[in-house]
Amino acid sequence: MAGDDPDPRVIALAREVERATRRVGHVEVLVRQLAADVTGLARVVDEPPADDEGAEVGRVRAWLLAEDAGQARADLTDLVEWLARVYLRYPGAVLPSCWGFHPAVVEELWWLRQAHHDAYGGPDASWKLAGDWHDRQRPGVARRIRESIGGCELALHAEGGEQARPAPAVPLAAHADQLADTWTAHRTTPIPTPDQLTEADQHDRDQHRTNR
């Protein structure tokens, strides 16, 4: 009977709903793929690139700011190997037995080692960088080490020795807030208080004894 035939409008609507459902499903697949791609790109951005030997490049780490003990051990092992293979092969490469007990010296040698890598094996390696390393960087580090600890030895770091010093303290560090407040308010520095003068005098006398 004619009355039992489906309404063409209902059929058309059903087909439209079916097509829309398929489109939504396709969009969901694309969204999931896009999310996976974004996650993968984020990993690439977070992970530093590596050179042909698998070493990280493009990340500068300061030895004086080292906090990860495992990374610090790996860095120092790498540095020791490089010192034997490269640095100590040059005339004038002074390296007292206590070099590792001088954090500033470790820092100097650490950055020199990284500069050597950049000059010879980094992505921008060039003869110009190598020349700068030989002509300026290596002699400069060797000179500073010679001038600062050239006559030092490990025995001086023993308890009671002249190199057995506590960690350095920033003079009057507790008064930094006062300095900041006065500077931002008046573009000047505060007049030192009697307590500050006493603290500064003690620090200066300690410095004088240490540097004798």
Helical spans, DSSP H, in the chain:
8-46, 69-85, 103-120, 127-132, 138-149, 176-186, 194-211
The residue with tokens 């059903």 is 14
The reply to whether the predicted model has a pTM over 0.85 is no
Minimum mean pLDDT among 85-94, 148-157, 174-183, 188-197: which range? Answer: 148-157
User: Residue 211: what pLDDT?
Assistant: 60
